Amino acid sequence: MKRVITVTVINQSGVLNRVTGLLMKRQFNIESITVGYTEKPGMSKMTFIVNVEDERKVEQIVKQLQKQIDVLTVKDITEKAIVMRELAFVQVLAPPHLRSEINAIVDPFRATIVDSGKNVVTYQVTGDPTKIEAFIDLVRPYGIKELTRTGATAFVRDMQKSADAPQLSLLQ
Q: What's the pLDDT at 53? A: 82
pLDDT (tens digit per residue) in 22-59: 988 888 889 999 999 999 999 999 999 998 888 888 88
Split at pLDDT 50, 70, 90, the class of 167 is very low
Please state, for a pLDDT cut of 90, what percent of the chain lies above it. Answer: 75
- Give me the pLDDT at residue 71, please: 95
For residue 53, the tally of other CB atoms under 10 A from its CB is 7
Span 70-80, average pLDDT: 93
Residue 72 has pLDDT above 90, yes or no: yes
The mean of the pLDDT values for the chain is: 89
Q: What pTM does this model have?
A: 0.79
Q: Which of 4, 61, 54, 65 is nearest to 32 (CA)?
A: 4
The answer, yes or no, to whether residue 105 has pLDDT greater than 70, is yes
Q: What is the pLDDT of residue 160?
A: 64
pLDDT of residue 161: 56
Positive/negative CA dihedral, 25, 151, 50, 5: positive
- Give the pLDDT confidence score for residue 54 in this predicted structure: 82
- Nearest of 52, 5, 49 to residue 31 by alpha carbon: 49
Mean pLDDT (whole number) for 61-67: 91
